[in-house]
Structure 1
Amino acid sequence: MSTVYIVHAIDTEGPLYESLQAKFDRLKHLFGIDGLDRTEATLAKLRAGEIDLGDKTEMVKLVLNGHLTNYNATWTQVNAMLDRILAPEFRTKMVDSFGEGWVFNWFCIDLVGYVNNPRRRDLGFHNIYDHFAERLAQDPNCRDGVHFHFHPISTFRDAHYCGTHYLRYPEFFEVLARKVIERGFFPHAFRAGFQAERPDIHWFLEQFIPFDITNMALDDPTELDKTVDFRNGRSGDWRRAPADWSVYRPDHDDYQRPGNCRRAIGRALNIMNRMASIDQREMDKAFARAETGLPTLVGLCSHDHRDIGPEVDHVRDLIAEAQKKYPGVTVKFAEAREAFRKVLWPERDSFPEFELEMRLHPASADDCAYVEIIAAKGAVFGPQPYLAIETRGKRFITDNLDFDTRPGRWFYAFHHDTLPLEEVARVGVGANDAFGSTSVKVLDFR
């Protein structure tokens, strides 16, 4: 017997407004349905299945059901939800096998780089991260995790759409550079926007972030062909990935296949969503796996712009039913790093310390100024720490480090090929070790 680790991953994006017209736009985008009168009366008929759309009728009913379309459109509404779900009485409506209440993992996005924002998203660096970090800090006993989420910016920089290419715009790098320098934060866990990963983000994560909980594989991936946005591998494509609740290390050329990469990918299904939703069969499958002695990570995905409360209650019902069938399996409500560690290294009770050190070497008669970074304790996950530089002109940039001849030591020189030290306001580095321990260091030259 073993344990099922429940990791509730919230794609944390702040408020989301949707007008009546936007609801009909979404039907056109997802199903090619157009030409209907765009009225509340039509919407009510669609929700009731009273308009014959052929084989799309039931799917449209699902997409337009109250839970999926009743958005938290303002921070006031988001905060009211947080008041309910962060309260001890809500967290402990069901306790796990260790007497602990529900744990949330807030994968926070910075919505930046957009020029069109019809859904009234909260655009800006740190806005959403700060809101949740400050809220969680009010509870000294909070076990929730704060992690990293990002939407690849769409071609026309529309805030309500998502691309698949992470690295074609500089905002992705700037977000991380600002997190290191302005917040002293570097993520150990990641979720992809719209579950969309491609080789660029796969190889980036392989350098810097050890834990990824984006796999949305299904036993029957033909479900994804029902809507335009997932058909033929669009958006979040996990059709080749394991669907057995295993955590795997991906192949270098195919993030969906198990291979020999460093990072680990866990599976997360949606809750009460239009596709890839957790159900009793999937929860039972996880418990059956744990019954064989394999510690099992069950990822669950929500969004903070919907009411998370009913989703948690739904999952608790699934867990309770699975516990009846598999009474010997224990359940743990977990932060992401804790769950990955327990699944990947079940025999370990402790993990080594990890600490970076960074110091400035001033310019000398025969050399330019440079910083030296060493892994003073432990070893860096990937080839190098993430370098972040703030210029005196308030630009935030990154760059590769220079490598020493021995592992665990790097340099960055300030000269004509990079930038002079007098142009630097702050420089920082952030890194994880293979176990998800994080170290961030910042030097301030202001």
Structure 2
Amino acid sequence: MLNKKTVIIVHAIDTEGPLYESLAASFERLEELFGITHVKATRENLARLQKKEIDLGGQEEAVAEMLSSHRVNYKDTWDKVDEMLDRVMAAEFRNKLPDSHGNGWIYNWHCLDHVGFKTNPRRRDMGYHNIFDHYRAILKEKEEDRDGLHWHFHPMSVYQDAHRCATSYVNSPELYQILCRRIIERQWFPSVFRAGFQAERPDSHHFLEQWIPFDISNMALDDNSELDNTIDFRNGRSGDWRLAPSDWSIYKPSHDNYQLPGNCRRHIGRALNVLNRIASINQEEMDKAFLRARQGNPTLVGLASHDFRDLAPEVDFVRELIATSKQRYPDVEFKYAEAVEGFRNALWPEGFSDSSLELELRFKPATAEDVPSIEVNTKKGKVFGPQPFLAIETKSRRFIHDNFDFDPSLNRWHYAFHSDTLPLSDVANIGVAANDKYGNNCVLKMKFESNN
């Protein structure tokens, strides 16, 4: 049982692998975000902008923030990323400030797949599973079982540029390809999600409601003026959370607006950026979380980072905030947490007794009366959402997501192989995955031999 006067620290890292940015590209962003075109792209001018030595008509501070050495010193190769990971994942670094239980820092790696893009000027690592496999191998090598592996997704940009933002999941067929492959090829399915560019819209909202119980994308602020002052967030562009709770509470969203508390299924937690130009965590926000916990409300504090920046100064900065808040609120405990554990601690601090989800996948051969099919039965627990996620791999290595047919019991589902779906003879593998509301996960796979 968790002490209800606890702040739960969940470090959610948008795990995207190496990122390259040329000098010209840095100045291109300067033009796109601030409309500044009169400064020549040189190393000398970059240094002067960082020192606020060039007159920008009142935008000097914001530009210096964007171009700070921490933000533009990208880890642009896997060697550089891995060197950073060796430092920040070392026990000595993790344990600089143990939590109230004596444990060290925990990371949550929300892995992205860069797929489907036509242009890649930032030299991202393109391919299914590349980043997921890299981090899973690192965690295995370091025998680190406290960190979490989770999911991050970038919707497809209009011109399929890997360095551009977008919001439409409907226009992103790669979404289903990624999850189908993750289920069938890696026997893995996410239970915690972070939105790319912090951007959710009705299509992504309704997608998540079907399968993902925990969402740590809310970046609501008490004062939205800083969003209005930057082109990429003005008028609700990119991550729009202006109507969402900013008090560190976790909420279930409304059906029609993901920002408003309502009666949907998933739980949305708040995560602020660290040492960033937008929506950054500060002492006031950390104190607010400790005060809320002091009132008997276990409080999840999400921290958002990227793995292509040096995580060490970001973690050290947050630890200073925590230490200061702990001095001000000595009766409040704090705990570093893997994301699923963090949501559970905040939502069900006294624990829960429900059985973990367990599914059964059965093949039903063709009979004189019916075509071949599969059947999924709920043996224990309850599926989050209306149906499990169905993934199909064909003999030609196409990956297809489809809907199940529903049983009146509401805890059993069917999928038939016939002329309106696909013939069994073309099926290589079937994958079925689901969560329960607590983030317990079940992934099943069935292989079909060539003679079926």
- TM-score bracket, normalised by the shorter chain, equals over 0.9
Give 3-state SS (helix, strand or coil) of 2:59's partner.
Answer: helix
1:26 to 29, 32, 50: 29
Q: Hey, what's the Cα distance between the residues in 2 that align with 1:6 and 1:292?
A: 17
The more displaced of 6-15 and 158-167 is: 158-167
Match of 1:56 in 2: 59
1:401 to 399, 404, 410: 404
Match of 1:281 in 2: 284
Give 3-state SS (helix, strand or coil) of 2:7's partner.
Answer: strand
Partner letter of residue 89 of structure 1? E
Match of 1:386 in 2: 389
Cα deviation for residue 37 of structure 1 reads: 1.3
2:186 to 183, 187, 192: 183
2:39 to 36, 41, 51: 36
Partner letter of residue 291 of structure 2? A
1:82-126 superposed Cα distances (whole Å, 9 cap, x missing partner): 110111111111111001110000000001110000000001000
- 2:272 aligned with 1:294: no
- 2:190 aligned with 1:159: no
2:127 to 119, 124, 129: 124
User: Conserved in 2, the CA contact under 8 Å of 1:354 and 1:377?
Assistant: yes
Partner letter of residue 281 of structure 1? E
Q: Hey, what's the Cα distance between the residues in 2 that align with 1:355 and 1:318?
A: 41
Cα deviation for residue 58 of structure 1 reads: 0.8
Match of 2:138 in 1: 135
Q: Give the structure-1-normalised TM-score.
A: 0.99
1:69 to 67, 72, 75: 72
Partner letter of residue 366 of structure 1? E
Match of 1:311 in 2: 314
Q: Hey, what's the Cα distance between the residues in 2 that align with 1:271 and 1:224?
A: 16
Q: Hey, what's the Cα distance between the residues in 2 that align with 1:296 and 1:62?
A: 29
User: Conserved in 1, the CA contact under 8 Å of 2:192 and 2:214?
Assistant: yes
Match of 2:81 in 1: 78
Partner letter of residue 28 of structure 1? E
Match of 2:220 in 1: 217
Give 3-state SS (helix, strand or coil) of 2:402's partner.
Answer: coil
1:254 to 257, 260, 264: 257
User: Conserved in 2, the CA contact under 8 Å of 1:150 and 1:191?
Assistant: yes
Match of 1:202 in 2: 205
- 2:367 aligned with 1:348: no
Match of 1:107 in 2: 110
- 2:2 aligned with 1:8: no
1:369 to 372, 387, 393: 372
Number of residue equivalences? 446
Q: Hey, what's the Cα distance between the residues in 1 that align with 2:109 and 2:258?
A: 23
Q: Hey, what's the Cα distance between the residues in 2 that align with 1:435 and 1:116?
A: 39
Match of 1:266 in 2: 269
Match of 2:230 in 1: 227
User: Conserved in 1, the CA contact under 8 Å of 2:356 and 2:436?
Assistant: no
Partner letter of residue 312 of structure 1? V
Q: Hey, what's the Cα distance between the residues in 2 that align with 1:94 and 1:47?
A: 31
Unaligned runs of 5+ in 2: none
Identity, % of aligned pairs? 60
Q: Hey, what's the Cα distance between the residues in 2 that align with 1:162 and 1:368?
A: 45
Partner letter of residue 234 of structure 1? R
Cα deviation for residue 141 of structure 1 reads: 4.5
User: Conserved in 1, the CA contact under 8 Å of 2:169 and 2:203?
Assistant: yes
Match of 1:337 in 2: 340
User: Conserved in 1, the CA contact under 8 Å of 2:354 and 2:381?
Assistant: no
Partner letter of residue 159 of structure 1? A
Q: Hey, what's the Cα distance between the residues in 1 that align with 2:259 and 2:309?
A: 29
Q: Hey, what's the Cα distance between the residues in 2 that align with 1:108 and 1:302?
A: 12
Cα deviation for residue 350 of structure 1 reads: 4.9
Partner letter of residue 235 of structure 1? S
Q: Hey, what's the Cα distance between the residues in 2 that align with 1:119 and 1:335?
A: 30
